[in-house]
Structure 1
């Protein structure tokens, strides 16, 4: 058990992945540091997400990189969700730390995921994800926010 995150061990308990199922994934920067206020650092994360999509690990449906966390809606293809997230977090940590000239933890341990039961719920979920910058008051129009995408647009 991690002393700062007493329930982090529960994030992995009972987790399973199902090919073709949609998942809403959220992962948070270590200590909620708003690193991605620098949108160029956010683009390094996006590069790793795109690679997972291009390698047919996931079908990336929608995402938004907020200043201190990521929301990502995916359909699993040829990988387990935990493997995809480990790879994306690890590779983005290396590239971001290199650019920032730092070492050490970048992401909080684990991630939160919610399986989408009915594929008809994917579009409303995607709309909810990309509206995050609006709800957070970061922009007045989603088109003004640089770190998001949606496969329906």
Structure 2
């Protein structure tokens, strides 16, 4: 069996860890992440759109009204 590339292994570990932690916080068990993956190279000119998508996720989920209220978001000042 062919060994997975390092990035694939890293993402698998990250998803496993975060799923375990999130399920513990939420008091649940079972699958946490969707089976699909949307990993791709961020091309020139796409970074702002991708960052906006990521930081808006807690807002879309109804956890906060503004992305800046979400304590787990990190966005370096420019």
TM-score norm. by structure 1 comes to 0.34
Question: Please, what is the CA RMSD of the aligned residues?
Answer: 3.0
- Of 39, 50, 54, the residue aligned with 1:125 is 50
Change beyond 3 A, Cα 1:145–1:121:
same
Tell me how far 1:113 sits from its aligned partner: 1.9
- Of 65, 71, 76, the residue aligned with 1:146 is 71
- Of 9, 14, 20, the residue aligned with 1:94 is 20
Structure 1's unaligned 5+ residue stretches are 1-16, 18-78
Tell me how far 1:152 sits from its aligned partner: 3.7
Change beyond 3 A, Cα 1:125–1:152:
farther
Larger proportion of helix = 2
> 2:67 & 2:41 partners in 1: Cα distance?
25
TM-score norm. by structure 2 comes to 0.54
Name the SS of the counterpart of 1:83 in structure 2: helix
The structure with higher relative contact order (CA 8 Å, sep 6+) is 1
TM-superposition CA deviations, 1:21-58 (whole Å, max 9, x none):
xxxxxxxxxxxxxxxxxxxxxxxxxxxxxxxxxxxxxx
> 1:113 & 1:94 partners in 2: Cα distance?
21
Matches within 5 A, 1:111-122: 111-118=37-44, 120-122=45-47
- How many residues of Structure 1 are paired with residues of Structure 2 in the alignment? 70
TM-superposition CA deviations, 1:125-145 (whole Å, max 9, x none):
323432442xx3741x33223
